[in-house]
Amino acid sequence: METELEIARRAVELAVAAGADQAEATCTAVQRFSTEARDREVAKLEQSRAQNLTLRIFVRGAKATFSTTDPSPAGLENFTREAVAAARFVESDEYGGLPEETGIAASDASLGMFSDDIAARSAGAKIGDALELESIARATDPRVVNSNGSRVSDTSLRLALVNSNGFAGQYRSTVASLNATPIAQDGAAKWSGSYGAAARSYGALEAVGAVASKAAHRALGMIGARKPATMRCPVLFERDVASNVFADVFASVSAANVASGNTFLAGSVGSRIGSDLVTIVDDGLLPLGLGSSPFDAEGVPAQRTVVMENGTLRTFLYDTYHGRKLGHASTGNAAGGSVGASNFYLEPGTASLFELIASTERGVLVTETIGFSVEWVTGTYSRGARGYMIENGALAYPIDEFTIAGNLGGMLAAVDAVANDLVFDQAIVAPSFRVAEMTISGGS
């Protein structure tokens, strides 16, 4: 049976023989497991294996991308011939084409991307973890009466990439995750809470009991929530919500959005955007990072890029296409035909979230945001939220049904405290941080 690397090599050779000027083939083999428990029952169980080949070809500047699940000799020959024929009907683009140079990439072993314990752990043990998440969450307090499910999942991936410019590389990766979403009830009111963890191996995951307990306390903590008054005050973003904020920051520094004028940061490289506390890094070489890989989706070696340093914007993040369009080399951030995050994060501070709360006389701690309302062209930020009122340096009471509003640029400039609770559990992460002042729209 052919390996993914052999299949990718054969696809490139066939595409060139069929008339492609350049060709790139990515072959993946993915094995997935997912289970969900509700109360004492297994509500869902899914296991799958799949092999897929994606072929990207260029014919006289025209690009076409096609995928197939049939890597047989006859299947690939027909597939590549039809793909090249289809590309002849696509309009050419002067910026299209493969990277000229790809260089030497790191290894998956040095990045800690793969763990044997994903395959070694039995399906029964994983199902047991999901049931235990449910059991512990419900046993936390009698007011935890229901659940939106507790989930355990993992993925094992083999990937090979070959192009007609001479690049050939491959790597393996694994990811495991736990998540619990219990529901607490007080009278007629119900409140849900969610907490999860993800890592490259089951051994590196947060303990099942800790995940379940934190999820339950998030639900219980919202009992009695009220709508806050409309005001201007400091706003603290708890770690999970902080990561969502920085997903919007990532979109603002993506060269794909810069090239289309869809970001308020266009033309701002070298300008002061954030406070001294804001240093943002994209690091595809971070050991054990869930966004790490030896090379990006085009075979360009991953790298560590300082995007913003002490508030000054140093660079955008590029793939080959948008780099050519904007006159910049790729930063190794090609993903899915555009620009993607590696391990994109705000550098942590030294204080705990508790210390940030204690140093806030009056403000709001946001623990969940609802809805999507960010205008990247202007940086306008507005989200529904829930969390806690802070009074005299302590959490006073839960609050809900309010909106936080500001501007991404203004928020970065007003960051006056950053916590030390950074966890690399997804490709875009951030520690908890505080913005000196934002608008809270609540009640009268």
Mark residue 220 as left, alpha or beta (left: phi above 0; alpha: psi -120 to 50; beta: remaining): alpha
- Joined tokens for residue 82: 């039809």
Q: Which residues contact 131 (CB under 8 A, 6 or more apart)?
A: 37, 40, 42, 150
Q: Give the distance between the most distant pair of CA atoms in the chain.
A: 73
Per-residue confidence (pLDDT) for residue 105, from 0 to 100: 67
All domains of the chain, ordered by start, with CATH? 4-221 (3.30.2290.10), 225-444 (no CATH)
Per-residue confidence (pLDDT) for residue 101, from 0 to 100: 73
Tally of helices (H runs) and strands (E runs) in the chain: 11, 21
Per residue in 159-188, pLDDT (tens digit) is: 999 999 999 999 999 999 999 999 999 999
Low-confidence ranges of the chain (pLDDT < 70): 104-106, 444
Helix then strand then coil, in percent of the chain rounded to 5, is 25, 40, 35
The CA distance from 38 to 282, in Å, is: 38
The CA distance from 347 to 424, in Å, is: 11
Per residue in 404-427, pLDDT (tens digit) is: 999 999 999 999 999 999 999 999
Per-residue confidence (pLDDT) for residue 371, from 0 to 100: 80
Mark residue 410 as left, alpha or beta (left: phi above 0; alpha: psi -120 to 50; beta: remaining): alpha
The CA distance from 395 to 390, in Å, is: 5
Per-residue confidence (pLDDT) for residue 366, from 0 to 100: 98
- Amino acid code (one letter) for 315: T
- Joined tokens for residue 432: 């908890």
SS (HEC) of 147-215: EEEEEEEEEEEEEEEEECCCCEEEEEEEEEEEEEEEEEEECCEEEECCEEEEECCCCCCCCHHHHHHHH
Residue 34's beta-bridge partner residues? 46, 153
Per-residue confidence (pLDDT) for residue 444, from 0 to 100: 66
